[in-house]
């Protein structure tokens, strides 16, 4: 029900190459492992008061209050995310985030307007947005982490633009090629401009092939994106490393697709039970098809969000965060699919019954289950580590964060 962005950047304190100084040379020796749990102390009733005010003010101000609402939510959730008894802090300023929100709004408005004009203009707008997207993702990660701290130590994101484009450009190009092929029969001007005089059937086949290729390599590109993120989180001098290949990510994707493939079988079974005489009635199969079409959309959406999405989220969280670490510090995630599935079923039911008013309790319960499944395993005493990382004066990360545009993607 809630995004897992709170985990990203909150507990990332693993260094692939620790700083070479006298303090670390004394500290960074293998010791008995310390298991430090992540605790989440927020309550649904407290968050409800924040949520309802945010909702009303955002509505009254036609969305302009959104950055202030976002900051209030982040500060509450971060302060209640505790590592070794100390909560996180968020230092972002709403006015800076307003600039990023307005930029996102302008881009969306331009793209929407382009879609109404023609397929060609929509394609051009998609190319421009795709060209900006990797830089915007990097900016969002930089802003969020530069304004997050633990015990006064600032987080940071060290990924550069070149690596961002290397991780994200290829899937964007494939998506644009598929979009261009699919829009060929919708806009004669686009065809003339591109000089295409090919049978539409072959163009549709080419679009299908490109789209299938995109699906086949989607897990690889997802891994590239996560590798880019997890390799560049920093806490003071310490930087993260994701020790994971693309193979296990493919495994999670394939099992999730397998779960999704069960849906047609389930719908077919329900339809046959509801209308067992379809095979004998000449119009039975038509009625059966119409009935399936009627329940497929709602049933499919419900099945995806209640079953497939929780499975993917639990398996991917455990895989990514457990593989983030080095010989000094390591994260471990043990989020259970059964508990998460039952929680989401409860959340959806109560949100529906209460017409949405249960949402804050659902958000808090989901965040608590996901965060408290994470443990920091350290071979360094956490207080000694803090003393080694504490800057002698000033806060360079804070200064850098103040210069960043407040672009937020919820990553």
- The pLDDT tens digits of the residues spanning 40-60 come to 999 999 999 999 999 999 999
Domain shared by 148 and 35, yes or no: yes
Total domain count for the chain?
2
7: Cα within 13 Å, side-chain hemisphere:
30
30 and 150 inside one domain: yes
pLDDT score of 384: 76
What is the rounded distance in angstroms from the CA atom of residue 179 to the CA atom of residue 318?
Answer: 34
Same domain for 255 and 362, yes or no, is no
Whether 30 maps to a domain, the answer reads yes
Q: Which residues of the chain have pLDDT under 50?
A: 1-16, 20-23, 186-194, 196, 394-402, 410-411
Same domain, 240 and 369: yes
The pLDDT value recorded for residue 205 is 73
> Are residues 381 and 264 part of one domain?
no
Could you give the angle at the alpha carbon of 333 between the alpha carbons of 330 and 337, nearest 5°? Answer: 165
Residue 56 shares a structural domain with residue 72: yes
Say what the pLDDT of residue 50 is: 97
pLDDT of 389 reads 72
Chain centroid offset of residue 243 CA: 20
220 assigned to some structural domain: no
Structural domain contains residue 13: yes
296 and 239 housed in the same domain: no
Q: How far is CA 390 from CA 13, 328, 395, 401, in A?
A: 13, 18, 9, 18
The per-residue pLDDT for 210 is: 75
User: Are residues 240 and 267 both part of a single domain?
Assistant: no
**Which of 310-337 are b and which e, b meaning 16 or more Cβ less than 10 Å from the residue's Cβ?**
bbbbbbbbbbbbbbbbbebbbbbbebee
**Position 135 in a domain:** no
14 and 90 assigned to the same domain: yes
> The sheet that has 148-150: what strands, in order across it?
238-239, 233-235, 153-157, 148-150, 86-90, 81-83, 34-40, 374-378, 329-333
- The answer to whether residue 204 is domain-embedded is no
CA 224/CA 219 separation, integer angstroms: 9
**CA neighbor of 236 nearest in space, from 385, 361, 96, 94:** 385
pLDDT score recorded for residue 16: 45
Q: β-pairing, 81-83 with 238-239?
A: unpaired
Q: Supply the range of the domain harboring residue 22.
A: 1-115+143-156+234-244+323-338+353-392
> Does the residue 328 lie in any domain?
yes
240 and 357 in a common domain: yes
For position 282, what pLDDT does the model report? 56
Is 100 in the same domain as 151?
yes
């Amino acid at each position: 029900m809630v995004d897992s962005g709170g985990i990203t950047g909150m507990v990332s304190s693993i260094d692939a190459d620790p700083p070479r100084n006298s303090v670390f040379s004394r500290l960074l020796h293998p010791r008995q492992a310390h298991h430090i749990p992540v605790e989440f102390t927020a309550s649904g009733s407290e968050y409800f008061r924040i949520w309802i005010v945010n909702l009303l003010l955002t509505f009254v101000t036609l969305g302009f209050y959104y950055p202030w609402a976002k900051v209030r939510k982040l500060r509450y959730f971060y302060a209640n995310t505790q590592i070794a008894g100390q909560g996180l802090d968020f230092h972002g300023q709403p006015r800076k985030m307003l600039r990023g929100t307005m930029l996102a709004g302008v881009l969306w408005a331009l793209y929407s307007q382009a879609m109404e004009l023609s397929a060609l203009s929509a394609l051009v707008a998609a190319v421009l947005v795709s060209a900006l997207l990797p830089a915007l993702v990097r900016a969002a990660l930089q802003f969020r982490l530069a304004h997050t701290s633990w015990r006064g130590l600032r987080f940071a994101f060290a990924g550069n633009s070149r690596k961002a484009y290397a991780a994200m450009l290829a899937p964007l190009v494939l998506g644009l090629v598929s979009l261009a092929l699919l829009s060929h029969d919708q806009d004669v001007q686009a065809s003339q401009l591109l000089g295409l005089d090919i049978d539409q059937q072959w163009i549709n086949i080419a679009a299908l092939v490109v789209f299938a290729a995109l699906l086949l390599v989607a897990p690889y590109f997802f891994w590239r994106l996560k590798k880019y993120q997890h390799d560049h989180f920093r806490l003071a001098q310490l930087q993260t490393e994701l020790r994971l290949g693309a193979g296990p990510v493919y495994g999670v994707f394939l099992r999730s697709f397998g779960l999704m493939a069960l849906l047609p079988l389930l719908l077919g079974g329900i339809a046959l039970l509801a209308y067992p005489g379809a095979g004998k009635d000449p119009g039975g199969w038509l009625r059966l098809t119409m009935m399936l079409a009627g329940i497929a959309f709602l049933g499919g959406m419900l099945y995806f969000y209640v079953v497939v999405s929780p499975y993917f989220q639990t398996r991917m969280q455990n895989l990514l965060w457990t593989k983030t670490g080095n010989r000094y510090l390591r994260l471990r995630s043990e989020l259970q699919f059964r508990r998460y599935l039952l929680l989401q079923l409860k959340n959806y039911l109560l949100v529906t019954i209460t017409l949405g008013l249960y949402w804050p309790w659902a958000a808090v319960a989901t965040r608590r289950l996901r965060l408290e499944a994470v443990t920091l395993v350290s071979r360094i005493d956490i207080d000694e580590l803090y003393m080694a990382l504490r800057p002698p004066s000033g806060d360079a990360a804070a200064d850098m964060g103040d210069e960043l545009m407040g672009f937020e993607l919820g990553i």
